[in-house]
Amino acid sequence: MFKLSENPNLNYVATICRITETYPIENSDNLVRTVVNGYDMVVDKSTQVGDIVVYFPVESTICNEFLSVNNLYEFSERLLNNNCADVEVELAKANGIADETEKAERLKEIRRMAGFFNKHGRVRTINLRGCPSQGFLAKTSLFERLFPDMTFDWENNINKQFDTIGDLLIVKKYVPKISATHSGNGGGKTKKQKAVKRFDRLVEDQFEFHYDTTFLNVNMWRFNADSQVSITKKIHGTSACFCNILVNRKLSLWEKVKKFFGCKVALTEYGNVYSSRGVIKNRYINKDVSDGFYGTDVWGYINEIIKPFIPQGMSVYGEIMGYVPGSDKFIQKGHDYGCAVGECKFMPYRITMTDDLGNKVEWDVDKVNEWTENLMTNNPEIAKYFMPMVVYHFGRFGDLYPDVDPSDHWNENVLALMKLDKRFDMEEDEPLCTLYNDEIAATEKVLKALKDAKESKKTIKATEKALAELKAKKAPAEGVVVRLIGDSKAEAFKLKTNRHYGKETESNDAGEVDIETLESEGGSDVE
């Protein structure tokens, strides 16, 4: 009944959950706060401890069938709801009411017949009474309304993840449509899961795209106080991979003849392969590749710098940040990471070694950083293009918060502390992003001088407003990444800040698709 589609993005699937606790919200009689799947949620007081609900994550999109049958589209999109005919009848009646006060009250009631989803069915981060609400909680009755002939066993499917019920895809990642001016040559239309198999120059088990980083919130149960972990800064850029691995040789005619007659011919050789998160960028491998999001091959730019230093068998994964090379366009809006305009940096965060048989060895974070630092030290001419990982913690997880009792909801308590930990720059400005720093410092100096000179309140207030506007432009820290030390499965778990979620929401509200989404999801529709 509850299924995952082929190759699902596990960060954007639904989860069946039970409400375990609710918390009062100051100055609110009708709303309470709860934590579901590791995320803060604001719900009405009718939600009770023990209730079973379905959690939809932020920036997922819910299918039309579910929203329509439950009348969850917003009033401006009411024609998409099943009750649209009834709503139009009631609107006609209301518009005939002569008394304006009575009419306004009736129209308010009618608006409640619709929901709050836009036409895309997108789940947004919102703030209610100062509390973030990071997702959408659906009552089980909404699914029973959509599938009246099905019998649901909710009790025995607690914590079950799914994106499909029966043959209907219920939820997926939201990807906004992009304008043709930002589409390059159609950048990255190749689906990640299919990309490797279709290229005959690639040798099986040699190349692999970077695995998806799943959310720590829903995976905290994997850890305990004795877990050996690394915690590193998450960078808001675009993923890249640079390899020196075995590839199939392009045989000459004479070699093909020799091979036909059973003579020994070298079929493989070590070669450079580079990619974004989901698209092979080498043109000798992927003839259909475009230059990507901005019509510039940012991955190729870094590849030319790093490839002489990658030994045979090594694959280096990491994040490119800053500006599109030679341009004033950001790789990720507002996130300069100390780069000058037109420049970018690469931060390696994962390295694997692959032998001739395809066996892979993962390096731990400390070894990856050692390689990066040695590269920068021994090659100062290219050092400005690289940045080591910022490592916050390396060792026993419990040592991070020694006062938290391992036997009393340790996972939940540690997650709550991590969300607000200033050591990780959680909910803070990103200190590595220097954009606006000079303007802020200059404005602060002016403001102090105005106050010292006892200038007019109007002038001081205007300057304070200008300062606040500058500070609001500062890029927020994205969050952290947690990895198990010595993990052969190669898994990483990300914890994002509420401020970053807010920026993502603003960008998606504006229809701005970022380069990472485009490349990882295989492209977006162009409008």
Same domain, 348 and 453: no
Q: Has residue 376 been placed in a domain?
A: yes
Which residue segment(s) compose the domain that 292 sits in?
180-213+221-391+514-520
Q: Has residue 403 been placed in a domain?
A: no
Count, residues in the chain: 527
| Residues of the chain predicted below pLDDT 70 | 177-198, 291-294, 513-527
- Whole-angstrom Cα distance, residue 47 to residue 53? 9
Q: Has residue 371 been placed in a domain?
A: yes
Query: Which element (helix H / strand E) includes 254?
Result: helix 253-260
Same domain, 266 and 298: yes
In this prediction, residue 487 carries a pLDDT of: 79
Same domain, 234 and 333: yes
Same domain, 237 and 288: yes
Strand partners, 247: 202, 269
Same domain, 311 and 261: yes
CATH of the domain at 147: 2.40.50
Same domain, 188 and 285: yes
In this prediction, residue 184 carries a pLDDT of: 41
Q: Has residue 185 been placed in a domain?
A: yes
- Whole-angstrom Cα distance, residue 78 to residue 71? 8
Residue 477, Ramachandran bin (φ over 0: left; ψ between -120 and 50: alpha; else beta): beta
Same domain, 53 and 185: no
In this prediction, residue 257 carries a pLDDT of: 85
Same domain, 385 and 361: yes
- Whole-angstrom Cα distance, residue 462 to residue 261? 85
Name, in order, each residue with C-beta under 8 angstroms of 5's C-beta and a sequence gap of 6 or more.
163, 164, 169
Determine the 3-state secondary structure of 223 from DSSP.
coil
In this prediction, residue 353 carries a pLDDT of: 96
Q: Has residue 87 been placed in a domain?
A: no
- Whole-angstrom Cα distance, residue 380 to residue 265? 41
Q: Has residue 404 been placed in a domain?
A: no
Determine the 3-state secondary structure of 118 from DSSP.
coil
Taking each helix axis as running N to C, give the angle between helix 100-111 and helix 84-95, from 0 to 180 degrees, rounded to the nearest 10: 170
Same domain, 205 and 139: no
- Whole-angstrom Cα distance, residue 293 to residue 45? 45
Same domain, 316 and 370: yes
Q: How many domains does the chain have?
A: 3
Q: Has residue 382 been placed in a domain?
A: yes
Q: Has residue 464 been placed in a domain?
A: yes
Same domain, 250 and 269: yes
- Whole-angstrom Cα distance, residue 255 to residue 259? 6
Same domain, 162 and 192: no
